[in-house]
Amino acid sequence: MGGEYPPLDRGQIESILKKLGFTKKRTESSHAQWEGHSKGQRRMVTVDEFGGRKRIKYSKDLTKKMIQQSGLSKKKFYSYRSEEHTSELQS
């Protein structure tokens, strides 16, 4: 996952989830549960909080799992790194 799909850190993942309409529901131990809807289904995304550190990059496999949990394709999920979808979500 490089180039078009570079590694993401916790801050980036959380920002994308917020843009997608997910909300942080609970934190247990070192993981947070983010709840939202995708394709008409309720989704839960588990985000490792790395002991409060936001800038450590997630592994390729962990990023893939979070994207799968969100219900989006990798391409669609990564497209929310930019601001282009902000107005789309608010309408």
Give residue 88's pLDDT: 44
Two tokens, residue 72:
């989006």
Give residue 51's pLDDT: 62
Phi, psi of 28 (to 5 degrees): -125, 125
Q: How many angstroms separate the CA atoms of 91 and 71, rounded? A: 21
Q: Is 29 left (phi over 0), alpha (psi -120 to 50) or beta?
A: left
Give residue 83's pLDDT: 60
Give residue 54's pLDDT: 67
Q: What is the pLDDT along the chain (91 residues), one digit of tens a residue?
A: 457 899 999 999 999 999 999 999 977 778 899 999 998 999 999 998 866 666 789 999 999 999 999 999 999 999 999 765 543 443 3
> Is the full-model pTM beyond 0.75?
yes
